[in-house]
Structure formats: structure tokens, C-alpha cells
Amino acid sequence: MTFTLNKIHKAVNWNKEDDNFTQAFWEQNVKQFWLPEEISVSKDLKVWNDLSEKERDLYKKVLAGLTLLDTKQGNNGIPSMMSLTDNLQRKAVLSFMGTMEEIHAKSYSSIFTTLLSNREIDDLFEWIEEEKTLQRKAQLILEQYENTNDEKSLYLSMVTSVFLESFLFYSGFFYPLFLAGQGKMVSSGEIISLILRDESLHGKYIGLLAKEKYESFNEEEKRQLNNKMYKIFNDLMENEIEYTKLIYKDSNLEEEVISFLQYNANRALENLGFEDYYEVKPVNPIVLNGLSTETKTHDFFSTKGNGYQKGIYEELKDEDFII
Ligand code: MN3
Ligand code: MN3
């Protein structure tokens, strides 16, 4: 058989460092690996049943919104960035992160299956499809991800990804952190903490890739990209505030969630190398308490942290076999 080789096919070589951060991020990503099956959500059932109807409704809706974001990040966000990334070690880190997005998306389902009836789960997934602010959020993100075809659009997709992971998620994280900070829904809160820790790492890594790419543009290109970035930022924030006001209505938490969003929006801009956009009010200490999970391991290259220990499963008991 004869054939003409039209390009050289390269294999990933981990024996030398392609840059001074990717291998460290690979190691940290792998070290943080976790599965929802390792956390026993059923411990939350008692507290769940004691929550009011409105509290339960809010809780399941924030998780539903997060499910949609993780689905899009795994299916569209990461692949769009991978498609234009030539460096093979970087591609591998992105691929691993994409797998974690699918694990995040699946972990919400493991919470739903423990706390909700099949009927409630079906209704919730229907709500995702019908809620306009949620659909608009997905559309705004996908408009960028699905148009990743050159270096500038790749940069803007990285920007969008950092906004999604370091800022948009936090309207959803707020409530589980708020409850867990008061000792409620602690196991589900543990899952949220693990997701949050992953997103912090992802936001940092993609932020570094974005900053490097940004430096490859000339001043005029940078100016144009800045305008586009702030347009995406403002469109997303406007919609996020509307979404927050809608799902948090009756909770008396709307204003605090919006402050929390602004606080995290500043962190997202920081990951991208930009100044704070908002003067933020202090974050609710109960939520900060839940967040401290993250700050404890903010030096990502330290321990796995928290109450989470990999490989600890609940022992099977006789009653587990009673159907
Ligand atoms: Mn995720
Ligand atoms: Mn992520």
C-alpha cells in the first residue's frame, strides 16, 4: 500500500516541559479527581425534608442551572478551546478538565436522585428548557464557543470560559454554601465544594492561557478585544442579575447573591489580568465560611484538603440489601 503523507503526526511527549505551568496543572487536576459516588448524599435527607417548600424549590433550581452550565462547558466550551490548541500537553490538561465537567454535571443528578422523585426530576429538567434567563445564558455562552475559529475568537472563548467558571457558577454556588455554612445539606455541600475547587483551578489555568494569548496581539487588536470582552461580561452580568432575582425571589437573599456575583466577577477579571470592575460589599460570612474550603486550598499545589478523602466508601449494611 502506498500513500502520501500530508502532514507530520506528533505524539504527546511528557518527558520535557512545554511551558513552566502545564505539567503542574496536570498534576493538580489529577490529584483533585473525585467521583460523586464517594459522597453519601442520603445523609442530607433528614434536613431536606425539614426545609420549607420554597427552600427546596430554590435548592433544586440552583443545581439545575449549574447542571446546564457544566453540560455546556463539557460539551462545547472545552472542545472549542481544544480544537485550536496545538500544544499536546495543554490539550491533555483541557481534556481532563472536560471529563471533570461531565462528572460535575453527573454529580447534580446523583443529588437529585437521592432527594427528588422521578416526577420532580422530570419537571426540573423541563424547567431548565423553559426558563428564559437560563436559556439566554446558555445561548450567550454558545454564541462564543461555537464561533471559535481563529486566534482572536479562541481568546474570547477562553475569556467566556473564565467568566463561566469563575463568575456565573456563583449564583448557583451561593445557596448550597449558605446552607452548608449553617450545617444544613452538608453532604451535597461537600459535592459543591469539590466542584468549586475544580472550577477555581480551571479558571486559573484557562486564565493563564488567555493572558499568554492576549500578549500576542498588538495594541489595536487588544483594544478591540477589550471592548468585546466587556460586552460579553456586561451581557452575562445583566442576564445573571435577572436570573438571580427570579430564582432567589422570596428568599431575601437576592442582594447578597448579586454582591457575591460581583465579588466573583472581579476574581474572574483578575484571572484574565484585568482590574476589578465592581466595588464590592462584604460577602455574607456564612457563605465565606463555606468558601473557606476553597481558600484553604487556594494554594492549589498543597493538599487535597477538606473533609474529603478519596476511596472512603460507606460500608454496606444488611438493610442495603432489603428491597
Ligand atoms: Mn464544572
Ligand atoms: Mn470547569
> All domains of the chain, ordered by start, with CATH?
41-294 (1.10.620.20)
> Relative to the alpha carbon of 97, which ligand is closest?
2
**Where is pLDDT greater, at 274 or 301?**
274
Cβ pair 166, 199 in contact under 8 A: yes
Helices (runs of H) and strands (runs of E) counted in the chain: 13, 0
In terms of DSSP H, where are the helices of 150-302? 151-163, 169-180, 186-214, 219-247, 254-271, 285-296
Q: Determine the 3-state secondary structure of 218 from DSSP.
A: coil
Ligand 2 centre and the CA of 73: distance in Å? 7
Q: What is the mean pLDDT of the chain?
A: 91
Evaluate whether 38 touches 181 at the Cβ level (below 8 Å): no
What is the distance between the alpha carbons of residues 244 and 62, in angstroms, rounded to a whole number? 9
The alpha carbon of 4 and the centre of ligand 1 are apart by a number of angstroms equal to: 42
pLDDT digits (tens, 9 = 90+) for 147-173: 999 999 999 999 999 999 999 999 999
CA–centroid distance, residue 311 to ligand 2 (Å)? 23
Instruction: For the beta carbon of residue 135, count every other beta carbon within 10 angstroms.
Output: 14
Distance 289 CA to ligand 2 centre (A): 22
* Model pLDDT, residue 281: 86
Assess whether 108 carries a catalytic annotation: yes
Q: Which pTM was predicted?
A: 0.89
* Amino acid, res. 9: H
Q: Which one of the listed residues 108, 175, 214, 248 is annotated catalytic?
A: 108
> Distance, CA 73 to ligand 1 centroid (Å)?
7
One-character DSSP codes across 67-94: HHHHHHIIIIIHHHHHHT---HHHHHHH
Q: For 92-110, how does the pLDDT look when each residue is reduced to its tens digit (9 = 90+)?
A: 999 999 999 999 999 999 9
In this structure, which residues have their CB less than 5 angstroms from ion ligand 1? 70, 101, 104
**CA–CA gap between residue 196 and residue 88 (Å, rounded):** 26
Has residue 36 got a pLDDT over 70?
A: yes
